[in-house]
């Protein structure tokens, strides 16, 4: 990564929860590693009036709380908070932009990062306001959080609106899954190991499973969640990103656009789930009470809701590499475990010739756990050395090695923003094609009038999801 020449980091929503829990701590980690230039100023923008020293002291406490003890230093945290300034500004007022200009005037000749940690309805106005005082130039970058639109049309309109004021190469759309260490590792695993790369296709792979399960319910985000559900909250963004990284073609170069071109191509070849294929391809669920915890309806305080807290799909990718290989994706809240996992199931090899003691020979399997632990396991068969006859048993090889503090997603993503590297950010066409696919899926379930199936809190999800399987192995258990 190149050294950053960013002179000011402007954080809209700088007094908010995300900023305090994730963004300041991540900026601090970049600061101590020398990735945030020492003379860079951090402007927290919010409607609140904050006395700057009190605000700096508060951020110091947040750093103490959220940065791991091995990376926290009193002295460095003090130096970091000294870079923080506060701008009181109401982005809905016309005079806001002159205020911003006054504060940023002396920085305008070098790159400024604008991070919008605010409700998406403000994105357009903020981009316009910044441009109205010509502060969108000289390498300025605009970082936006999800949700980015609520369907294809709204995402496209938002893209158009932002591009009126910032070029695409200046816009960094965050999907924090792209900042996870193990997700990046998939690219390394796939493209630097011939043993995997040569077998990464329908000829050798029977099926792929991608799971993101959470034990938590919707908590206090009921209002947002009930309008979105697992499909918009997780499937359209994080799950689609995981899928595209697992299944994309090798990029011609390790550059932001070469990688994103391949991800877009992959998403374009994801077969739409239409009303005819819906019942064989998608199952939605909603948690009811389990282990004494409230049901979803109690959590959102409603009599009824068609919002899904679980969604599972069986998808097919219509390209030469993946012809006929099912991709099983599932995500949900209040499930038996909190786990993020990708499982590559290989096809059997000589099942008639060599067997295990019980007559079965397991298929090779590559398991990539990305949370809570970051582990990679390869299951291979070997001769069973305790058996009188020639038979095999399965060994689980751990391919991951533990190292010190791994970068957290926001630390890595902010580091990339500072360096002006868009590899880990979602491009305009990528977000639109993912929405288009999801819109079709949503239209299919609406057409069929299907409601989510109930599933018990802390269970494996609705049993109806088992029917998606075409082979015998079924879902990996959520633990």
Contact call for residues 27 and 36 (beta carbons, < 8 A): yes
CB of 225 to ligand BG6, least distance (A): 7
The residue with its CB nearest to ligand BG6 is 233
Q: Which of 50, 206, 214, 261 binds ligand BG6 (CB under 6 A)?
A: 214
Nearer to ligand BG6, 176 or 412 (CB): 176
CB of 226 to ligand BG6, least distance (A): 12
CB of 116 to ligand BG6, least distance (A): 16
CA Rg, the chain, in Å? 24
Tell me the per-residue interface mask from 321 to 360 with ligand BG6, x by CB under 6 A, - otherwise: -------------------x--------------------
CB of 69 to ligand BG6, least distance (A): 22
CB of 103 to ligand BG6, least distance (A): 31
Q: Which of 50, 233, 308, 430 binds ligand BG6 (CB under 6 A)?
A: 233
Tokens in use for 336? 């038996």
Nearer to ligand BG6, 13 or 420 (CB): 13
Nearer to ligand BG6, 111 or 285 (CB): 285
Contact call for residues 161 and 155 (beta carbons, < 8 A): no
Residue 238 is among the residues annotated as catalytic for this protein: yes
Nearer to ligand BG6, 85 or 232 (CB): 232
Nearer to ligand BG6, 183 or 361 (CB): 183
Question: Checking phi first, is residue 474 left (phi over 0); if not, alpha (psi -120 to 50) or beta?
Answer: left
| Cα torsion 280, 282, 286, 291: sign | positive
| Cα torsion 422, 425, 428, 430: sign | positive
Choosing from 86, 176, 238, 416, the catalytic residue is 238
CB of 117 to ligand BG6, least distance (A): 13
Nearer to ligand BG6, 96 or 183 (CB): 183
Q: Which residues 171-210 are close enough to bind ligand BG6 by CB under 6 A? A: 176
Q: How many CB atoms lie within 10 A of CB 167?
A: 11
CB of 221 to ligand BG6, least distance (A): 7
Q: Is 50 in the site for ligand BG6 (CB under 6 A)?
A: no
Nearer to ligand BG6, 56 or 408 (CB): 408
CB of 212 to ligand BG6, least distance (A): 6
Nearer to ligand BG6, 129 or 147 (CB): 147
- Angstrom CA distances, 233 to 18, 150, 151, 186, 313, stand at 17, 10, 12, 23, 15
Across-strand partners of 385? none
- Total number of residues that touch ligand BG6 (CB under 6 A): 6
Q: Which residues are annotated as catalytic?
A: 238
List interacting residues with ligand BG6 (CB under 6 A): 176, 212, 214, 233, 340, 371
């Amino acid at each position: 990564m190149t050294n950053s020449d960013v002179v000011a980091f402007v954080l809209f929503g700088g007094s908010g929860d995300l900023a305090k829990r994730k963004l300041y701590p991540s900026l601090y980690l970049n600061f101590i590693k020398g990735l945030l230039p020492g003379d860079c100023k951090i402007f927290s923008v919010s409607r609140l009036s904050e006395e700057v020293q009190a605000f700096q002291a508060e951020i110091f406490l947040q750093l103490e709380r959220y940065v791991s003890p091995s990376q926290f230093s009193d002295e460095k945290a003090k130096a970091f908070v000294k870079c923080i300034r506060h701008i009181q500004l109401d982005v809905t007022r016309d005079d806001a932009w002159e205020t911003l200009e006054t504060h940023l005037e002396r920085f305008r000749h070098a790159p400024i990062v604008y991070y919008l940690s605010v409700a998406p309805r403000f994105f357009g106005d903020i981009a316009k306001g910044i441009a109205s005082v010509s502060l969108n130039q000289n390498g300025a970058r605009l970082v936006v959080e999800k949700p980015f639109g609520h369907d294809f049309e709204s995402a496209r309109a938002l893209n158009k609106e932002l591009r009126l004021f910032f070029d695409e190469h200046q816009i960094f759309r965050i999907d924090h899954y792209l900042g996870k260490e193990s997700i990046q590792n998939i690219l390394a695993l796939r493209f630097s190991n011939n043993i995997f790369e040569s077998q990464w296709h329908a000829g050798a792979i029977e099926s792929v499973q991608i799971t993101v399960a959470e034990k938590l319910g919707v908590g206090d985000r009921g209002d947002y969640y009930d309008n979105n559900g697992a499909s918009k909250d997780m499937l359209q963004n994080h799950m689609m990103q995981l899928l595209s990284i697992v299944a994309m073609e090798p990029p011609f170069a390790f550059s932001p656009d070469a990688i994103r071109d391949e991800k877009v191509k992959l998403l374009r070849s994801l077969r739409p789930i239409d009303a005819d294929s819906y019942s064989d391809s998608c199952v939605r669920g909603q948690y009811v009470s389990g282990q004494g915890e409230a049901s979803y309806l109690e959590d959102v305080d409603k009599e009824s809701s068609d919002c899904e807290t679980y969604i599972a799909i069986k998808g097919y990718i219509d390209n030469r590499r993946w012809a006929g290989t099912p991709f099983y994706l599932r995500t949900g809240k209040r499930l038996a475990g909190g786990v993020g996992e990708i499982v590559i199931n290989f096809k059997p090899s000589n099942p008639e010739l060599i067997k295990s003691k019980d007559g079965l020979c397991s298929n090779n399997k590559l398991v990539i756990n990305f949370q809570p632990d970051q582990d990679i396991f390869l299951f291979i068969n070997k001769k069973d050395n305790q058996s009188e006859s020639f038979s095999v048993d399965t060994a689980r090889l751990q391919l991951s090695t533990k190292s010190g503090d791994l970068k957290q997603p926001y630390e890595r993503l902010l580091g990339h923003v500072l360096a002006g590297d868009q590899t880990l950010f979602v491009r305009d066409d990528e977000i639109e094609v993912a929405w288009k696919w999801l819109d079709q899926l949503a239209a299919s379930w609406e057409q069929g009038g299907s409601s989510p199936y109930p599933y018990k809190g802390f269970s494996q999800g609705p049993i109806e999801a088992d029917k998606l399987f075409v082979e015998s192995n079924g879902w990996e258990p959520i633990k």
